[in-house]
Amino acid sequence: MPLSAELQELAARVSNWGRWGEQDERGTANLIDAEAARRGAAAVRTGRSISLTMPLGAGSPQEGGAPRRFNPVHSMLTLNETYTGSVHDACFNDDMVVMALAAGTHLDALAHVTYDGSMYNGFPAESVTAAGGATRCGVDKIGPVVTRGVLLDVPAVKGVERLEPGYAITADDLDAAVERAKVDLQPGDAVLVRTGHMQLYRQGDVWGYNHDCPGLSTRTIEWVHDHDIGVIVDDTYVFEVWPPEDWASMMPVHMIHLRDMGQLQGQNFDLEDLAAACAEDGIYEFLFTATPEPVSGGCSAPVAAVATR
């Protein structure tokens, strides 16, 4: 279904087409510049690094979620193989993985979503081909993601352990989380939105994790645009609230973020250990690193995301 008239007006207001040039394929990744990296480095106080990445393997969350995605399949290519025939020489073990690029903790390429025949910056939807993948706006165009990260812990604001499935996060929720974190957001920052939904996955409830979930609503889109967020990620399978608030539009946050704003976004980030550390000392900013694997023509890519505090 097409976007409603109201959402079409919103999409036009927040559009970044042409902002970084007519040939730009990076969108808000352009905001993650040297100043953003320096700001991230300045946020490091103890040097403690916390992984934000779920393991990639048979236990990944691709069970009954998005169609045709599957959990990573790991296979061995060689087992203690020696090129000389002697076990006294070097013996090699090699392996391979077959996986959906969005199988675990990942960032979306701007080519991940198109509508009305276009992707970000007006490139035609046909720029994604069976042979070449995303020939425009692919994940290989994003580049290094090194910036200041800010954790916005929405359940903590509301005094709950986690948000209920189907809870639609609003701009007011994000403002309250910013106030609680005592930070001033800057252009190019990484915003990590915690819902607590990752707890279900950690408890082994994969089905509960990858179906109904809390998430960002269309009422956050203008907030993200106005703050010039470099990248925004959360701890859910869908990223935006699911089921949708209005079934007239299928995943409108994805549509407007990726196609109109060129907004770098990601899913399946494990924010539980980070949230505990931030709550312990009251510091919610850190160095955030999550550069996607530069898969040529990829529409998403896994990241090994880290918060260094």
Cβ-based burial of 46 (10 A; exposed 0-12, middle 13-18, buried ≥19) = exposed
| Residue 97 belongs to some domain of the structure | no
| Residue 96 belongs to some domain of the structure | no
- Angle, alpha carbons 237-243-246 (nearest 5°): 135
Give the model's pLDDT for residue 249.
Answer: 81
Please say whether the beta carbons of 198 and 272 come within 8 A: yes
Give the model's pLDDT for residue 66.
Answer: 83
SS3 4: coil
197 Cβ contact partners less than 8 Å away, ≥ 6 residues apart: 162, 163, 165, 209, 213, 214, 235, 236, 237
| Residue 81 belongs to some domain of the structure | no
Residue 113: give the domain boundaries.
5-65+103-308
Please tell me the distance from the alpha carbon of residue 252 to that of residue 171, in angstroms, as a whole number.
16
| Residue 78 belongs to some domain of the structure | no
Please say whether the beta carbons of 290 and 306 come within 8 A: yes
Give the model's pLDDT for residue 295.
Answer: 97
For every one of its 309 residues, what pLDDT tens digit does the chain have, with 9 covering 90 and above?
A: 789 999 999 999 999 999 999 999 999 999 999 999 999 999 999 999 999 999 999 989 987 778 888 999 999 999 999 999 999 999 999 999 999 999 999 999 999 999 999 999 999 999 999 999 999 999 999 999 999 999 999 999 999 999 999 999 999 999 999 999 999 999 999 999 999 999 999 999 999 999 999 999 999 999 999 999 999 999 999 999 999 988 878 899 999 999 999 999 999 999 999 999 999 999 999 999 999 999 999 999 999 999 999
Give the model's pLDDT for residue 248.
Answer: 73
| Residue 148 belongs to some domain of the structure | yes
What is the number of structural domains in the chain? Answer: 1
| Residue 55 belongs to some domain of the structure | yes
- The residue written with tokens 């931030």 in the block is 278
- The CATH number for 184's domain is 3.50.30.50
Q: How far is CA 191 from CA 85, 151, 181, 211, 213, in A?
A: 53, 6, 12, 23, 19
Q: Which tokens in the block code for residue 67? A: 């169609």
Please write down the HEC assignment for all residues of 44-55.
CCCCCEEECECC
| Residue 74 belongs to some domain of the structure | no
| Residue 84 belongs to some domain of the structure | no
Q: How far is CA 234 from CA 80, 174, 205, 248, in A?
A: 40, 12, 18, 24
Give the model's pLDDT for residue 2.
Answer: 83
274 Cβ contact partners less than 8 Å away, ≥ 6 residues apart: 50, 52, 151, 192, 286, 307
